[in-house]
Amino acid sequence: MKGSLIIIVFFILGIVCGFFHLLPSPISDSSVSMGALCALIFCVGVSIGSDSRVFQTLCHTDPRLFLLPLCTLVGTLTGCLGVSLLLPEISLTDSLAIGSGFGYYSLSSIFITEYRGAALGTVALLSNIVRELITLLGAPLLARWFGPLAPISVGGATSMDTTLPIITLYSGKDFVTLSIAHGFLMDFSVPFLVSFFCELA
């Protein structure tokens, strides 16, 4: 949770700096955001590539359990469809793009800002932070009411890192491998799905 609060603080600082023009104008240029995005993706790749446990985890996971990421994807996008019906001011493609972040707020919000503007990027950031917070705070109830797979699914892309400790605590150590594999696959899908929905008219 501390990491999420730090992200929110920096986000608010960015708004204040932008509103009062406290930083040089080139920093707000879209090319700077794209450069930061590329650096972020590179760091994620280095992190995954240097952690041998990720590949060992994928090799030893029961293939049938890979249906969980598919269920997370279908459930999230179905929920986004419902949101677009309840909030007509948000188009279906925008809603699907936001939901396709799967909790990976740092990456998805930059993509959406690049494609659709800062306003929707802000919505994506907050939406995905809320998803992570729901997992961190609601894992005990999710595991009790819906079973041990529920916190993993709700955690989305974060189930391999920030929400993994809380998932392990309430879903059990037997689900650590699945949680990491689930997070890895959801992580991997974010740039493709977000850019796909953003590019749709």
| 141-184 pLDDT, tens digit each | 999 999 999 999 999 998 887 888 888 888 887 788 788 889 88
Confidence grade of residue 201 (pLDDT, cut at 50, 70, 90): low
Q: What gap in Å lies between CA 199 and CA 167, rounded to an integer? A: 34
DSSP state of 104: -
Give tens-digit pLDDT for 73-117.
999 999 999 999 998 888 999 999 999 999 888 788 888 988 888
73/28: higher pLDDT: 73
pLDDT at 57: 63
Instruction: Please compute, for residue 18, the number of CA atoms within 13 A of its CA located in the half-sphere on the CB side.
Output: 11
Torsion over CA: 116, 118, 123, 129 (sign):
positive
Q: What gap in Å lies between CA 104 and CA 126, rounded to an integer? A: 11
Vertex 200: Cα angle to 135 and 183 (nearest 5): 25
Burial readout 96-124 (b: 16 or more C-beta within 10 A, e: otherwise): bbbbbbbbbbebbbbbbbbbbebebbebb
- Tokens 């699907």 belong to 96
What is the token pair recorded at 10?
Answer: 């920096």
Q: What gap in Å lies between CA 32 and CA 152, rounded to an integer? A: 34
